[in-house]
Structure 1
């Protein structure tokens, strides 16, 4: 059997509406929202009594999605925000047309630049931002 595609990356958030606003400002589109609960959800995730709301955010070209989830039961478990070198899921990188404009638009939604916007040779301008619930996103602006 062959891998077909990467369907989505899941992110648990404290405030679903704020996370939707953040990723909408980044340029993603809300594909839909759904309440998730029931035995099938418990079996899939490996937790009992799941009750959450998810929002599927689609990348404009339609080839990738983020699944944002706000858990009501069992309650979400807090953790320290990851650093760029924390083991596990590192970050999600997005290609953007204008990195400076994107940063400016995301700051009112809580985005914090982790370092600086850096130039990689004559190819890219790159940066990492901390977004909702401390997740790290990367931005890449292709030069030339």
Structure 2
């Protein structure tokens, strides 16, 4: 996998949130032109994009803010049983500490923090703009 993409309204807030989660900003750039139009099928596309990398360097999160064309749908508050994009899950070292740090960005636990046997401590949160994110702490 190269990356997972998320569209946001406020790129700076999203970058700050995912930096607090432990991702590193790899780069930020405006994207537009015939090649961008061609790959997405959206004519006249203009976006501001940030690529973030997990600490191990193996995965990336592409965060995009559309300047044009206008965003036509909003799935950020969709429940977990919705079709399509569901969530991105991150492995964290200390779930309680991560939740405390992300609370200053408005992160809220969706249901509750649960233990899956003696393997994982898990929860879903709503991050910036209501984006659904999973957090998992290895218990083994």
Pairing of 1:85-100 with structure 2 (within 5 A):
85-100=81-96
* Aligned-pair CA distance for 1:8: 0.3
Q: Secondary structure at the match of 1:109?
A: coil
Moved over 6 A (4+): none
Gapped regions of structure 1 (runs ≥ 5): 1-5
CA distance in 2, matches of 1:109, 1:49: 33
CA distance in 2, matches of 1:88, 1:78: 13
Q: Does 1:22 align with 2:21?
A: no
* Aligned-pair CA distance for 1:134: 2.0
Q: What's the TM-score once normalised by structure 1's chain length?
A: 0.93
Q: Secondary structure at the match of 2:47?
A: strand
* Aligned-pair CA distance for 1:78: 4.1
Q: 2:134 aligns with which of 132, 135, 138?
A: 138
Q: 2:63 aligns with which of 61, 68, 75?
A: 68
Q: Secondary structure at the match of 2:97?
A: helix
The number of residue pairs the alignment matches comes to 139
CA distance in 1, matches of 2:89, 2:39: 27
Structure 1 residues 78 and 132 mapped into 2: Cα distance closer, same or farther (>3 Å)? farther
Q: What's the TM-score once normalised by structure 2's chain length?
A: 0.95
- Contact kept in structure 2, 1:52 and 1:73, CA below 8 Å: yes
Q: Does 1:106 align with 2:102?
A: yes
